[in-house]
Amino acid sequence: MSDDRAGSARANSAWANSARAADSEPSGNARSRQAPADFVQPARRIAYEVIAAVRESDAYANLLLPTRIQRAALNTADAALATELTYGTLRMQGFYDRVIALAAKRPVSAIDPAILDVLRLGAHQLLATRVATHAAVNESVSLAKQVGSRSATGFTNGVLRTISRSSAEEWRGRVLEGAVNVDDRLAAEYSHPAWIVRAFRQALRAEGHEDELADLLAADNMAAKVNMVALPGLATDADRERLGLSDEFSPVGFVLDSGDPYHLVTATAGRIRVQDEGSQIAALALSRARPIVAGERWLDLCAGPGGKAALLASEARAGGAVLVANELVPARATLVRTALEALPEPIPVWEIDGTTIGQSHPETFDRILLDAPCTGLGALRRRPEARWRKQPKDVADLAGLQSGLIDAALLALKPGGILAYVTCSPHIAETRAIVALAVRKAGGAVTALDTAAVVQSFSAANLDLPADTGSVQLWPHRHGTDAMFITLLQRSDE
């Protein structure tokens, strides 16, 4: 949950987008004259450890980094530097790998993985921050001495000094000279795998906005804002006074201007919590699709980790409806129960296979949220390492599960009931294709609602959504949200 969230805007190039850097060095932790020759500043050490853990054990940076910062008791400046170095390096890894290959005169696959992590971290400091060159190079060499061989130390020094002799713009030009086509050029400049670039192009083309591809890729390399939700009917006026400006679109969301968001969550007993504005809109699309009738039964089918469930539960409670949450994975089910503790009444949390819900509970629910398991390509701002971790095969592997879940959810709806199919991915194969297949298989028993009209009805500002698509696709570069896809489907009354 605690991602690198500190402001979102467009920029003209990806390497510049990552330059949300601190000044040359936090003064409180500058190297003293008595420091040993292999001294590495704590912020750099933590950034390296997180980057290495992401590579070695598929760790999640957004979960590991805050823990490491807390354990090290870093001051505010060092915590900010560690955050910038970690997320900036992970975001721009693809670009830095191309720079390193040119500077080292060898493919990165031929470089020891631990030393490659050191070089990536050093390249980020040299090309996208105001960290002094000598500090970036010298401490990277010290890191190399600690994690690699003696020969690796000299290699690291040589590669980084080569990088330091040219500007970021000069390296950008050299990298782009090696691009083999338009998508490879965009992949190099904006540090995304080419297959993701092509998937984003297809999704934007479906809305007639293919010309915005570079803007989308650039937005992925910007830190997301710290976004909060005040649970309706639970958050008090005093709670809201702690918050910053209201969200542009969500009627229950706020941007936190400063301070620790998790202190705020604790202080309000969860009545205020961290939640992306796009996630809020996805939940509200279901709860506000039509007036709530007292006694309605709602289901959050794949509820983990529980943020949308908490918002849905508060909306249901205000209208006299009841919510059931379901999450198959026990660890995630525990997170859901924790997320729902802010509600005055207990919310049932089931742990059943969602693909069987149509058989075990046919025609039971008036509204169902299906936030389907997906590649998460819509949240690359928050989980930058995911772009390097995901593969095209993952999309195909998930398609069967997504189809099984949506088919089961439609069977679990009462006649006239509404399903919200949601993914945090804009990939056509995870969004429009899954919905279209489900509608065809339903054989006229399911119709698509005007999702855009529903969302616009409660939005505080114009979302500028394409007409006649039957769905809503939110975008980081257009809406400042994760790239959430939302479609509302209604089961026939007959």
Q: For 429, which DSSP code?
A: G
DSSP for 455-484, please give it: HHHH-SS---PPTT-SSEE--HHHHSS---
Residue 353 marked in a binding site? yes
SS (H, E, C) 260-321: CHHHHHHHCCCCEEECCHHHHHHHHHHHCCCCCCCCCEEEECCCCCCHHHHHHHHHHHHHCC
For residue 365, is it left (φ>0), alpha (ψ between -120 and 50) or beta? beta
Alpha-carbon distance values, 102 to 95, 107, 173, 329, 450 (Å): 11, 8, 12, 45, 51
Distance CA 364, CA 389 (A): 38
Alpha-carbon distance values, 198 to 57, 205, 423 (Å): 28, 10, 18
Residue 145 marked in a binding site? no
Identify the CA nearest to 410 among candidates 456, 459, 375, 361. 361
- Cis omega (within 30 of 0) on the bond before 305? yes
Contact between residue 183 and residue 198 where contact means Cβ atoms under 8 Å apart: yes
- Which residue is catalytic, options 284, 424, 454, 455? 424
Residue 430 marked in a binding site? no
DSSP for 317-380, please give it: HHHT-EEEEE-SSHHHHHHHHHHGGGSSS---EE---GGGHHHHSTT-EEEEEEE-----GGGT
For residue 133, is it left (φ>0), alpha (ψ between -120 and 50) or beta? alpha
Residue 304 marked in a binding site? yes
374 is catalytic: no
Identify the CA nearest to 6 among candidates 84, 73, 61. 84
Residue 333 marked in a binding site? no
Residue 374 marked in a binding site? no
Residue 148 marked in a binding site? no
Residue 305 marked in a binding site? yes
Name the binding residues. 302-308, 327, 353, 371
Point out the residues that are catalytic: 424
Name the binding residues for S-adenosyl-L-methionine. 302-308, 327, 353, 371
